[in-house]
Amino acid sequence: MSLTPDQLAEIDAQRASSQTTLRSTSEGMEARLYKAHPVLDHGLIRVIDYMGDDAAICQAARVSYGRGTKAVSDDRGLIRYLMRHWHSTPFEMCEVKFHVKLPIFVARQWIRHRTANVNEYSARYSVMDREFYIPAPEHLAAQSTVNNQGRGQVLEGAEAARVLDLLREDAMRAYDHYEDMLTPDAEAGKLGLARELARMNLPANVYTQWYWKIDLHNLFHFLRLRADVHAQYEIRIYAQIMCDIVKDWVPQAYAAFEDYRLGAVSVSATAKEVLKRRLAGEVVTAETSGMSKGEWREFVEEWG
């Protein structure tokens, strides 16, 4: 990640000036506020603002007149109850606003989560930076042979070197052409193409930036899908950092999320029957399970 000295100074200045407030704050989140966490080769994620804490979730659930905290242990029990029973609206009382810098192909996956408020850097208004995501060698992998939506063996030697060369060369050539198209030249009678048109030849690994605001309930939904091992590495790495941030912000809610969502497994009615039959001592096979081949494979992966 490359932040300019000016950008770093702006962040330092924001962190150096504090304000008093009557509102609840989260100590863990205050420590994170404004700081940039590097992601991938040029990306970042940082918290710009937030509202609420664990107590705010309980306060809303109890529709309380005061701050809502009875005792930390009571709050923990209530938060776990809410999460366990999908009583989700109290979690919507907490909000967070992130500044994210990410490659456009990651942004395309991210933007599918429609319950956030987004404002993206305008490539009509501003010139894009010469910054492209080039995977680290350990993330340069072949197409998976078992999962159509995944990667398998890591590329090595000459093949890896050639792929990296192609990615770098294509990115640099595209950017050179972008700059060339943008640049006016009065002597040559060249007007320079509009930014909104010149940008269209930039590849999907160019970095964009946005502000992304979401409530905690919908953020948990995002994290459950994108911090999961089935999510593509390049978005998962952002989601994992966000998990660490949320853990510091609302530790009790995050612990409940980790237990009931992130680390949990959902079981179909058929799978529940198979588990019961197994517990009763029956040897259930793919043929007698009533499941499809794919379901049975996933079931055995989870339960042995």
Tokens of 214: 């979401």
Phi and psi torsions of 249, nearest 5°: -75, -55
Residue 120, annotated as binding a ligand: yes
Among 85, 112, 124, 293, interactor with ligand FAD by CB under 6 A: 112
Beta strand residue intervals within the chain, DSSP E: 37-39, 43-51, 95-103, 117-120, 141-143, 151-154, 207-215
Asked if residue 218 binds ligand FAD (CB under 6 A), the reply is yes
* Active-site position among 23, 46, 130, 226: 226
Asked if residue 240 binds ligand FAD (CB under 6 A), the reply is no
Where does this chain touch ligand FAD (CB under 6 A) — which range of 52-60, 110-118, 189-197, 288-296?
110-118
Q: Which residue's CB is nearer to ligand FAD, number 69 or number 218?
A: 218
226 is catalytic: yes
Residue 7's contacts (CB-CB under 8 Å, 6 or more residues apart) are none
Residue 111, annotated as binding a ligand: yes
Evaluate the CA torsion angle 54, 247, 231, 226 in order and state its sign: positive
Q: Are 67 and 24 in contact (CB under 8 A)?
A: yes
Binding pattern for the stretch 23-62 against ligand FAD, x by CB under 6 A and - elsewhere: ----------------------------------------
Residue 45, annotated as binding a ligand: no
Where does this chain touch ligand FAD (CB under 6 A) — which range of 5-13, 68-76, 175-183, 224-232?
224-232
Residue 109, annotated as binding a ligand: yes
Nearest to residue 23, comparing CAs of 44, 2, 53, 60?
53
Q: Which residue's CB is nearer to ligand FAD, number 152 or number 184?
A: 152
Nearest to residue 222, comparing CAs of 248, 250, 241?
241
Where does this chain touch ligand FAD (CB under 6 A) — which range of 6-14, 85-93, 225-233, 271-279?
225-233
Pairwise CA distance, residues 106 & 98, whole Å: 16
What residue numbers does the annotated binding site for dUMP cover?
109-112, 120-124, 199, 226
Q: Summarize as ranges the residues that interact with ligand FAD (CB under 6 A).
A: 112-115, 149, 218, 221, 225, 230-231
